[in-house]
Amino acid sequence: MAQLRSSYNERLFSGGARKWLHEMRFRWLREQTRDMEGSVFELGCFDARSLDYLAFRPTRYLGVDAGWEGGLDAARMRYPQFEFRRSQTLFCPNECFGIALALETLEHLPRHELPDYLDMLARTAPVLLATVPVEVGPVFLGKHLVKLVLGSNESYRPAEAMFSTLCMTQRVEQDQHKGFNYRTLLDLLRSRYQKVTVTGLPFSRTPMLSFTVGVRAEK
């Protein structure tokens, strides 16, 4: 189990450009929480790395995760004072929190389940901080071409790659990141929150040209 946890973190945070890209969401999280305090609910917490980057110490924290690759075991060992739950289906807290987090999580949800998860998050907390990858437009095309050149396993058929480049992801079969469109997510959030602010990471004013987007949704 420990080896699985190590391999996951090594894949994302061992160094180089990949570490820099994946740590962007946590640096964004710290900036977003500088004026915040209170309790936190996190969907897809894995090993609760986000707790190291919050600009405040939560009065209460509940992290929910599917438990893959031993993330929850690591979280419970590092933060015994906080609560963690394992769930592979929609989890609905029976209490409200001040802030909800979903970092690199929403893109993994099946399209038909995403609205229900967003309804749950909107009921759970008045503020949602979420990050998701950009898997459409020129950024997607660039990543797709690099993978083809490097010979990586690529699940996109040629037509699906074209549709993703054109942001027509409704015509792409979904599989984790594949077929995810952050602009569709924004539309769903705007129907549930009064204010939705989008930040491109690393290019704050050009989300479409960034690798990740940070979203702050407020009721």
Q: Among candidates 20, 48, 42, which has minimal Cα distance to 129?
A: 42
Distance between CA atoms of residues 97 and 89, nearest Å: 20
Round the CA-based radius of gyration of the chain to a whole number and report it. 17
Q: Identify the pLDDT of residue 152.
A: 78
- The label of the residue with tokens 């040209």 reads 209
Distance between CA atoms of residues 50 and 6, nearest Å: 17
Q: Identify the pLDDT of residue 154.
A: 76
Domains (ranges, CATH) in the chain? 2-134+180-218 (3.40.50.150), 136-175 (no CATH)
Record the tokens describing residue 201, joined without a space.
């990471």
- The label of the residue with tokens 């058929």 reads 157
DSSP label at residue 104: S
pTM: 0.91
Q: Identify the pLDDT of residue 70.
A: 86
Query: Could you list the pLDDT tens digit for every one of the 219 residues in the chain?
Result: 334 444 555 555 556 667 677 799 999 999 999 999 999 999 999 999 999 999 999 999 999 999 888 899 999 999 999 999 999 999 999 999 999 999 999 999 999 999 999 999 999 999 999 999 999 999 999 999 998 998 877 789 999 999 999 999 999 999 989 999 999 999 999 999 999 999 999 999 999 999 999 999 999
